[in-house]
Amino acid sequence: MHELLSGNEAIARGAYEAGVTVATGYPGTPSTEILESLVAFKDQVYCEWSPNEKVALEVAAGACFTGARCLVTMKHVGLNVAADPLMTLAYVGAVGGIVIVVADDPGMHSSQNEQDSRHFARFAKIPILEPSDSKEAKEFVRLGLEISEQFRTPVLLRTTTRVSHSRGLVELADRTPPTREIKFEKDPPRFVPIPLWGRIMRQQVEKRLADLRAFACTSAANRIESGDRDLGIITASISYEYVKEVWPQASVLKLGMSYPFPDDLIRQFATGVKRVLVVEELDDILEEHIKAMGIACEGRSVISGIGELSPLRLTEARAKLDGHAAPALAAAPAADLPARPPVLCPGCPHRGVFHALAQHDVVVTGDIGCYSLGVFKPLARIDTILCMGGGVTLAHGMDKAGEKRKVVGIVGDSTFFHSGITGVLNIVFNRGASTIIVVDNRTTAMTGHQDNPGTGRTLMGQPTNAASIADIARACGVKRVRTVNPYNLAETKAAVAEELAADEPSVIVSVAPCVLKEKVRPGPRRAVAADICKTCGLCLKLGCPAMEGGPKGTQPVVNDLLCAGCGMCQQVCKFGAVAAVEEGL
């Protein structure tokens, strides 16, 4: 049977079919749907959202040590968080197969940076598989698990946004049930990398790499597609699909297993063609290596490493390579199209916190989540973003450096559990005075409403303990901890003002569920009475997409279809011009 699956769904299917019994991860676009699809098989596959990627990888490592086949999922920046266990797991190695899916985001569709996870394969000295489509995405999970068990190594499976989110035909197969008995076999020299044994493991890693290099040269994942000998293209991942479209006649070396570099195969391919072109998205990892092998090739000279590749960009590269002027392929977008930056949804509870902060001259160190959108005008209350958890720690750093203004850190609930807690602990430990606001919308909203340790429900749908952010803050030693309802602007403003004035650390937990998750309006829709409105523009400063209006002096109007009924506009109006609309009218 065939099914049209996205790359992420295909990976989930591959894990199910290949007998994975433990799957862990932390959400992050474009990887999130893998576990969300795999959980459909929860009777056979244990699935969990872990609090962060490091935890996810360590949980899977423990499971794999007992002989279980495991899958771990994360986005590219998540692998930075999981890098510590990864580097040493590469020494200790696998028992049951372990495949770590890392989803890169060239073009930064929904990420704070554009990093190339292939470096991690080389860095950790472990193999990496790069599917080009959904069919391979499924097959490479099984292949990765087999390689993992045969060579006792963790295996990276790297997708990119296009591979993760494009759909393709995939042939389904039955599940191969796991055959290993689940039992941890005690063997300290095998599992304990103290220097004595770690040095031996270090030697084994090099031997394994040589064995894997030989395997990569013969694996069906790496293949030569013979064509015109004038041009030979070495490529991997989604770039392969673009290459087939733009250079249908060329000879191609397609690398499904791109590290360890299959040197002999590369040499064999290069000697059979007149000119070698390397087509790779982001960094010139293959090109550098091929050049270091003494093989002349082109790549970066005609294709920039910034942003996502596309058939269009490669058509331009082709013209450059052939010495022609680049064809005018894309019509330039109309210059007068209005910019449409993303905005907080109508009714988003985060808006109340930004409104309260707008009353103060403070520095706000933001974090990653829906509340990042508070950076845009008219809210404009986020001054920095670095990485998950950075909202808390940057605040403390500014404070300790002597920043004159009060520094406020903002994190979401999922981010607090991911990597905010240690930052709060640090503020107390090191006698800081920052105010941290946790905008707790009872979900991991930005990535699509995943559960987290505070929501009281697991990925598999079981009820569980809902961790209390306020209790954790108190346990970290914060004396000033309070909870506010962000829809109540007076309450929120008073709490923010009091905590900013305090000379000691404080945590404000702003609690109200995400309106898109609950699908319940917090209150009745609102309307502006034109005869009362003074067109002062205060309501527009909330930046609510449902409040439509031009510059100061023009009459604002509530868009009925968008209004979520949070009532903040009514609270900010000084003239009583905004009122609830009776339903049914």
Ligand X SMILES: Cc1ncc(C[n+]2csc(CCOP(=O)(O)OP(=O)(O)O)c2C)c(N)n1
Binding site for ligand X (CB under 6 A): 26-28, 75, 77-78, 81, 368-371, 388, 412-415, 441, 443-447
Shortest Å distance, C-beta 447 to ligand X: 5
Coil, strand or helix: which one is 50?
A: coil
CA geometry: angle 528, 533, 534, nearest 5 deg: 150
Would you say 97 or 352 has its CB closer to ligand X?
352
Smaller CB separation from ligand X, 403 or 471: 471
Closer residue to ligand X, CB minimum distance, 498 or 518: 518
CB atoms within 10 A of CB 220: 9
**Least CB distance from residue 413 to ligand X, whole Å?**
4
Nearest to 25 by CA among 99, 130, 120, 127: 99
d(CA 300, CA 141): 30
Closest listed residue to residue 101, CA positions, set 65, 41, 53: 53
Residue number with CB closer to ligand X (8 or 315): 8
- What is the smallest separation between the CB atom of 471 and ligand X, expressed in angstroms? 18
What is the nearest approach in angstroms of ligand X to the Cβ of residue 534? 34
Nearer to ligand X, 108 or 312 (CB): 108
**374/432 with CB nearer ligand X:** 374
Distance from C-alpha of 200 to C-alpha of 298, rounded to nearest angstrom: 40
Ranked by CB distance to ligand X, the top (closest) residue is 412
| Residue 491 CB, nearest approach to ligand X (Å) | 20
Tell me how far apart the alpha carbons of residues 523 and 580 are, in angstroms, rounded to a whole number: 8
At a CB cut-off of 8 Å and minimum separation 6, what does 90 contact? 124, 125, 126, 153, 154, 205
Residues 6+ apart with CB under 8 A from 369: 411, 412, 414, 415, 439, 444, 445, 446
Q: Which is nearer to ligand X, 270 or 459 (CB)?
A: 459
DSSP state for residue 114 in the 8-state scheme: -
Q: For residue 434, how many C-alpha atoms fall within 13 Å in the half-sphere facing its CB?
A: 33
CB of 370 to ligand X, least distance (A): 3
Instruction: Give the chain's radius of gyration (CA, Å).
Output: 27
Which residue, 295 or 496, is less far from ligand X as judged by CB? 496
72 contacts 100 by C-beta, under 8 angstroms: yes
- Distance in Å, CB of 507 to ligand X, minimum: 15
Residue 368 CB, nearest distance to ligand X (Å)?
A: 4
Nearer to ligand X, 7 or 412 (CB): 412
With the C-alpha atoms ordered 448, 452, 455, 458, is the resulting torsion angle positive or negative?
A: positive
As a whole number of Å, the end-to-end CA separation of the chain is: 52
Measure the CA–CA gap between 193 and 85, rounded to whole angstroms.
Answer: 12
CB of 469 to ligand X, least distance (A): 11
Rounded to the nearest whole angstrom, what is the least distance from the CB of residue 74 to ligand X in the complex? 7
Toward ligand X, which CB reaches closer, 50 or 235?
50
Nearer to ligand X by Cβ, of 77 and 542: the residue is: 77
Please state the closest distance from residue 369 (CB atom) to ligand X, in A. Answer: 3
Q: Least distance to ligand X from the beta carbon of 270, Å?
A: 38
Q: What angle do CA 502, 507, 511 make, to 5 degrees?
A: 130
Residue 241 backbone dihedrals phi, psi, to 5 degrees:
-65, -40
Closer residue to ligand X, CB minimum distance, 446 or 507: 446
For the chain, the residue count is 585
Sign of the CA dihedral running 442, 447, 452, 457: positive
Q: Are 484 and 509 in contact (CB under 8 A)?
A: yes
Cβ of residue 517: shortest distance to ligand X, in angstroms?
Answer: 9
Strands 167-171 vs 2-6: parallel, antiparallel or unpaired:
antiparallel
Q: With respect to ligand X, which residue has the nearer C-beta, 257 or 368? A: 368
- State the DSSP string of 453-504: TTTSB-TTS-B-----HHHHHHHTT-SEEEEE-TT-HHHHHHHHHHHHH-SS
